Structure 1
Amino acid sequence: MSEQTRECNKRYKVGRVLSEYDLLDLHDSLPDLWRGESSDPMSLRELADHINIAVLERAMEDAGETPLDGESENAYRLLTGDDVSVGMQTQQRSRLTRAGIDVDRLEDDFVTHQAVHTYLTDALDVSKDVETADPVETGKERIERLRGRTTAVVENTLSELQNAGHLSGGSYDIFVDVQVYCSECETQTQLSELLAAGGCECE
């Protein structure tokens, strides 16, 4: 990482939360994650979710839990997702409460993308150097990250259903395929092929 280690500025919510949950490595990597110096850059919303998932995972660990791969991500989605029913959200809150987690306090500690932006720019004095990145590549990277998250959520959900006896079967492999249909030329193409070709058969 090109930036030197910074102390958490507890006058800001992001700094206070990362300090209280002992997420100092994540704190030090925030500028890099935002600017994408050694990996794909993350948007402020993605960065806020990344912080909140880490907070949730640390809370689970402090309560004596050992989260499996993707479990903390799925738990966060069940708590905050717009597509999650009230019943599923209540069930997830109850599960965390039984594990000894103060869910109300946990949710109060979740940060917003505005808070992340304020912390990066004001507390850490970080600016995002806007370069002329290839918009197609940027779009492909964003979609691939979403596909990866979708795969993790599906795998974790199927595992939970199997463990609870609601789903039979063996080990499932998950494939997330995105097809794009053009109503003008009536062609259907895989998204990756469409992006690589620069469009469909329409002039």
Structure 2
Amino acid sequence: MTESDLSGHQKERKIVRVMRTYDLDHLEVQLVNRWTGTGEEQFTIRELARWFNVRVVERAMEDHDVSFDGLVPDPETVYDAIDADDPDEHQERVLEALRDSGFPVDDLAEDLPHWRSVYAWLTEDKEVEGGNTREPLTPQRGQERIDKLLSRVERVSDSTLSQLARNREGEVPDAEVSVRLRVKCSECEHTCVHREWIQAGGCPNCTDPA
């Protein structure tokens, strides 16, 4: 996406303009709290920018009443498609469907602020200290990150299969999508789910109990 943010205290930051344009001024406090970890899960600046941009996409979808064959697409899926430098086949279909519905994809992409814009607004304009620029990756956070990704894969897969089923003539049984990640040890070839691997701090079969 193109970053056309304006720097300097005398000029309005892109993120400020976007909050006003999309009626998201109430997110200002949440942005600060998620950056500092005050009463909220502490985000890195890239995670925070993504969180904000997904909220912008969600509001734009609500304003334009976006739906594909009566189903409302997931805002994160839409954001990933818009933000992708090299969209995959599924993301291309999402973008095409959005444009066919009259959704202003390119205008929205131009509105989404870069993480550097969010960082400058927080540290220079809001003068917020103690932000999380390089948060250490804990086992719990690593597991949450993988779980979120698997959940997104399930949502995209379920949406895709449902759409394909609707395109077929006649009744097609509903599909239940379940995604599991298994990790294989390169030493002993033991396999386990990712949670077990993370909790053990490595291969449960090779790692000595603490």
TM bucket, shorter chain: 0.7 to 0.9
Verify the 8 A CA contact 1:155 1:174 in the aligned structure 2.
yes
SS of structure 1 residue aligned to 2:26: helix
Residue matched to 1:115: 117
Change (3 A) 1:43 1:188: same
Give the root-mean-square deviation of aligned CA atoms.
3.3
Unaligned runs of 5+ in 1: 1-8
Against the structure 1 CA distance between its residues 175 and 83, is the aligned structure 2 distance closer, same or farther, given a 3 Å change threshold?
farther
CA distance in 2, matches of 1:55, 1:172: 31
C-alpha distance 148-121 of structure 1, shift in aligned 2 (>3 A): farther
Q: Give the one of 188, 203, 206 matched to 1:202.
A: 206
Corresponding pairs, count? 194
Compute the displacement of 1:39 (Å): 4.2
Distance in 1, Cα, partners of 2:169 & 2:143: 35
8 Å Cα contact 1:70/1:152 also seen in 2: no
**Quick one: distance in 2 between partners of 1:54 and 1:171?**
30
- DSSP-derived class of the 2:41 partner: coil
Shift of 1:12: 0.9
With a CA cutoff of 8 Å and minimum separation of 6, indicate the structure with the bigger relative contact order.
2
TM-score, normalised to structure 2's length? 0.74
SS at match of 1:45: helix
Gaps of 5+ in 2: 1-9
Q: 1:168 to 1:103 in 2, by over 3 A?
A: same
* Separation of aligned partners in 1, 2:130 and 2:29: 16
1:31 aligns with 2:32: yes
Q: Which residue of 2 aligns with 1:143?
A: 146
Q: Residue 66 of structure 2 contacts residue 72 of structure 2 at CA under 8 Å; is this kept in 1?
A: no
**Alignment map for 1:37-116 (pairs within 5 Å):** 37-65=38-66, 70-82=73-85, 84-85=87-88, 89=92, 91-116=93-118
Structure 2: how far apart are the matches of 1:183 and 1:190?
15
Query: Percent same amino acid at aligned positions?
Result: 32
Report the TM-score, using the length of structure 1 for normalisation.
0.76
What are the superposed Cα offsets for residues 5-54 of structure 1, whole Å, 9 maximum, x if unpaired?
xxxx9711111111111112223211222344444333322322222222
